[in-house]
């Protein structure tokens, strides 16, 4: 699928299976999401541009690779995005962070905004939007809309699970934003949940069901 990468690394798939299992505890779910986010972060940053700088090793001077440009921005779609954010920050501690507070109205499945805070210079930075679930894509589309309104032009969307319907809607709304996911599941059910899925990611992370 154009613009969509499925990370089929065995460690990602193994951890995802444990997360899907309804017998998995809240503590294990949170730990696994953090672990998986390291592996997904590795994939979503694979094409970052490098430049070089002069350093001296204990042996001799060398011209060594280093990341080019301004620091990344990780944009977490609250609440569940924070489960990916924590691990991503372990890997890229200097990244800037945006928070986009959205919840799905359970009747309409429309995204409702309740919070937005982002660095002011989004135009100069790669923005990686993180949310474990891409279901109808209403939340992801709105999050990217808001970030673009604030100047972002270079974005990626990282999730754990996607529905085919959500991928289709998101790539149509934002064809310039590549998607990285660990799985494209079978479909959405009549309540807008991904199946087989893993249930409500926020509830499973925080034990709020």
Residues in a beta bridge with 66: 51
How is residue 62 annotated by DSSP? E
- Strands laid side by side in the 133-134 sheet: 133-134, 161-162, 183-184
Specify whether 104 is catalytic. Answer: yes
With binding defined as CB under 6 A, does residue 194 bind ligand URA? yes
**One residue of 131, 167, 180, 183 binding ligand PRP per CB under 6 A:** 131
* Residues between 151 and 190 with contacts to ligand PRP, criterion CB under 6 A: 166
Residue 87 interacts with, from ligand URA, ligand PRP, none (CB under 5-8 Å by kind): none
Cis peptide, bond prior to residue 79, ω within 30 of zero:
yes
Which secondary structure element, helix H or strand E, spans residue 158, and what is its range? strand 154-158
Query: Distance between CA 99 and CA 113 in Å, rounded?
Result: 11
Q: Are 169 and 141 in contact (CB under 8 A)?
A: yes
Piece of the chain touching ligand URA by CB under 6 A; list 47-55, 92-100, 122-130, 197-205: 197-205
* Residues between 2 and 61 with contacts to ligand PRP, criterion CB under 6 A: none
Residue 137 interacts with, from ligand URA, ligand PRP, none (CB under 5-8 Å by kind): ligand PRP
Number of chain residues interacting with ligand URA (CB under 6 A): 8
Q: Are 150 and 122 in contact (CB under 8 A)?
A: yes
**One residue of 98, 135, 144, 167 binding ligand URA per CB under 6 A:** 135
Query: Distance between CA 194 and CA 16 in Å, rounded?
Result: 14
Interface residue list for ligand PRP (CB under 6 A)? 77-80, 102-104, 109, 111, 131-140, 166, 192, 200-202
Active-site positions?
104, 108, 200, 203
């Amino acid at each position: 699928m154009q613009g969509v990468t499925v990370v089929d690394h065995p460690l990602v798939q193994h951890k995802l299976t444990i997360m899907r299992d309804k017998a998995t505890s809240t503590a294990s779910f949170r730990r696994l999401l953090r672990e998986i986010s390291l592996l997904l972060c590795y994939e979503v940053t694979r094409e970052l541009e490098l430049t070089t700088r002069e350093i001296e090793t204990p042996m001799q001077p060398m011209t060594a690779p280093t990341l080019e440009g301004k620091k990344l921005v990780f944009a977490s779609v609250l609440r569940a995005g924070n489960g990916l954010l924590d691990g991503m920050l372990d890997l890229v501690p200097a990244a800037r962070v945006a928070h986009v507070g959205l919840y799905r109205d359970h009747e309409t499945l429309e995204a409702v905004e309740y919070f937005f805070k982002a660095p002011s210079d989004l135009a100069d930075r790669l923005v990686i939007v993180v949310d474990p679930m891409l279901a109808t894509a209403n939340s992801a589309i709105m999050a990217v809309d808001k970030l673009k309104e604030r100047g972002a032009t270079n974005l990626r969307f990282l999730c754990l699970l996607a529905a085919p319907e959500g991928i289709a809607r998101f790539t149509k709304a934002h064809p310039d934003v590549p998607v990285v996911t660990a799985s494209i599941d079978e479909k959405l059910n009549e309540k807008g949940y991904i199946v087989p899925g893993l249930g409500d990611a926020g509830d499973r992370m925080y034990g709020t069901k």
